[in-house]
Amino acid sequence: MTAPLGRRYLVCPIALRDDPLAGSNTRMAESVLFNHLRRPGLVLCLLSAALPCRASRWVEIGTAGVSTDKVLVDADSIEKVDNFRLVSVMTLSSAPQTNSHNITYDRRVNRVAFNCADRTFQSVQIIAYLGEKRAGSSPENTNWRTNMKPVGTDGLNNRALTLVCAAAVAGAPSPEQKTRNSSGSGIVVDGVGDILTASHVVSHCKSIMVKTATSKLFDASVFGVDPKNDLAILKIAYDAPLGEPARFRVQSEPARLGETVGVIGYPLTGLLSTEPKATFGQVNSVAGINNDYTLLQISAPIQPGNSGGPALDEFGQVIGVVVSTASLAVAALTGNVPQNVNFAVRGEVAQIFMAARGIKVLTGHRQQVQSTEAIAAEGLKSTVFVQCLVE
């Protein structure tokens, strides 16, 4: 799993009197985790920037109070600093917000410190984003170690604490131990070098390389991103066929509950073989967490590295793009680790994303059911390995 490019920017400080990242219509009072961020004297730095330069794997833990704003924890950002655990917590607004200083944003990423032993927390810094751009940030709180606050009884706070501390107990790596490379999977969508993948696979890369099923290597760059739906398009430096373009099921025939689904990808390449893997399951739900109808819930097993790969129907056509697993989120909520509760962005959403960028894909209707071997062979032709080089 992965995330975006880092650059230098012009910073323009502006003094504010209220929450620098929340407009007057933002309902955040119900969430204790973010209440303490509303204090006077904070400075907002207007920036033109990309997303944070690091790996990311966002796990949804609930909504902010009574609002529909989703709150997610980046499980790959957890790091140990002395006796604390630091993590990135994102609030994803259901619609763009504009605060009293005319700053518009659609999500806020809060770097939060937790002390697992005494169940306290404190904000370190908030960064706001609009679309693919960084909209602003609060000053860094350099005194967070001496100003920790009790988590209390708030459900959202406790779910975040449980997830962060459970990962720490399991041996979350320190920044020095974290790998400098990461990887995922991608889908060849045409004959001129366009690849569809998950945005978190490539959003922090300084360079990207793709390897085809025939082991050919190509340098690639990000052509378009939809961070809200976790989609991205990669292009290689020159027009060249990377494989047989995938065929997507027509938008008028969406995935159905209970139908067979196959996943092709390159999971755990550092532990398993570098060959592509195929797993099969069913469409367990036509919606994701909190009835998110941009997602499908699938039971086909996935691992880190499957992200960005295709979810195929029983005819070998793409009906989704693999993006996440719910294991950590559900473990934080229930204390139980679910098996094979995974998600894919609907193929219809991916087709709309690509059409908006001038990319035409092959489509097809339901046809003769294929064997799992035939589905795997079909998917292999259009699935590529995507490597993100951070340094």
**What are the pLDDT digits (tens) for 213-234?**
888 888 999 999 999 999 999 9
Structure confidence at residue 17 as a pLDDT band (50, 70, 90): very low
Instruction: Report the pLDDT value the prediction gives residue 81, as an integer from 0 to 100.
Output: 87
Percentage, residues of the chain above pLDDT 90? 41
Instruction: Report the pLDDT value the prediction gives residue 391, as an integer from 0 to 100.
Output: 59
Which tens digits make up the pLDDT trace of 80-124? 888 899 999 988 887 888 877 787 888 889 999 999 988 999 999
Greater confidence, 361 or 69? 361
Which amino acid appears at position 24 of this protein? Answer: S
Distance of CA 121 to the CA centre of its chain: 24
Residues whose CB falls within 8 Å of the CB of residue 57, separated by 6 or more in sequence, listed in order: 1, 74, 75, 76, 200, 304, 324
Element (H, E) at 282: strand 277-285
Position 385 pLDDT exceeds 50: yes
Three-state SS at 115 = strand
Which of 85-94, 249-258, 275-284 is predicted with the least confidence, judged by mean pLDDT? 85-94
Instruction: Report the pLDDT value the prediction gives residue 357, as an integer from 0 to 100.
Output: 92
Which of 38-42, 174-178, 336-340 has the highest mean predicted lDDT (pLDDT)? 336-340
Kindly report the CATH class assigned to 182-389: mainly beta
Distance of CA 154 to the CA centre of its chain: 25
- Fold that domain 12-169 belongs to in CATH: Lipocalin (2.40.128)
Q: For the residues 18-32, what does the mean pLDDT come to? A: 35
Percentage, residues of the chain above pLDDT 70? 75
Position 348 pLDDT exceeds 70: yes
Nearest to 317 by CA among 353, 340, 346: 346
Strands 362-364 and 247-249: parallel
Structure confidence at residue 271 as a pLDDT band (50, 70, 90): low
Which of 16-20, 280-284, 321-325 has the highest mean predicted lDDT (pLDDT)? 280-284
Which tens digits make up the pLDDT trace of 30-87? 343 444 333 333 333 333 333 333 445 677 787 766 567 788 888 888 888 888 999 9
Residues whose CB falls within 8 Å of the CB of residue 356, separated by 6 or more in sequence, listed in order: none
Residue ranges, CATH 2.40.10.120, the chain: 182-389
Residue ranges, CATH 2.40.128, the chain: 12-169
When the pLDDT of each residue in the chain is averaged and rounded to a whole number, the result is 78
Structure confidence at residue 208 as a pLDDT band (50, 70, 90): very high
Provide the β-strand partners of residue 261: 281
R_g (Cα) of the chain, nearest Å:
21
Residues whose CB falls within 8 Å of the CB of residue 328, separated by 6 or more in sequence, listed in order: 59, 75, 163, 166, 167
Instruction: Report the pLDDT value the prediction gives residue 273, as an integer from 0 to 100.
Output: 59
Instruction: Report the pLDDT value the prediction gives residue 284, as an integer from 0 to 100.
Output: 93
Position 6 pLDDT exceeds 90: no
pTM: 0.56
Position 135 pLDDT exceeds 70: yes
Position 186 pLDDT exceeds 90: yes
